[in-house]
Amino acid sequence: MKKQTHKQRILKMLQEAGDRGIHSFTLANSVTFRASARINDLKNDGYNITSKHEKMGDSYGVRYFLEE
């Protein structure tokens, strides 16, 4: 079985999350610390991904949403 790329894993997570979206901390812990770069790659591939700043614990991050 071929290993998924970071972009593929992030896209799958966004699709599965639906309206809940995925927080940047979750992506950093489970996929890559360079999630924002991979999100940008997905946007350049034509995916409509939005984001909003969100606090998680004592720190701020970003929650990403895949718009269908």
Question: 3-state SS string over the chain?
Answer: CCCCCHHHHHHHHHHHHHHHCEEHHHHHHHCCCCHHHHHHHHHHCCCEEEEEEEEECCEEEEEEEEEC
Which domains does the chain carry? 6-67 (1.10.10)
Whether 8 has a pLDDT exceeding 90, the answer reads: yes
pLDDT given for residue 18 in this prediction? 96
pLDDT given for residue 1 in this prediction? 59
pLDDT given for residue 28 in this prediction? 92
Tell me the per-residue pLDDT of 9-62, one tens digit each, with 9 for 90 and over: 999 999 999 999 999 999 999 998 889 999 999 999 999 999 999 988 888 999
- The pTM assigned to this predicted structure is 0.88
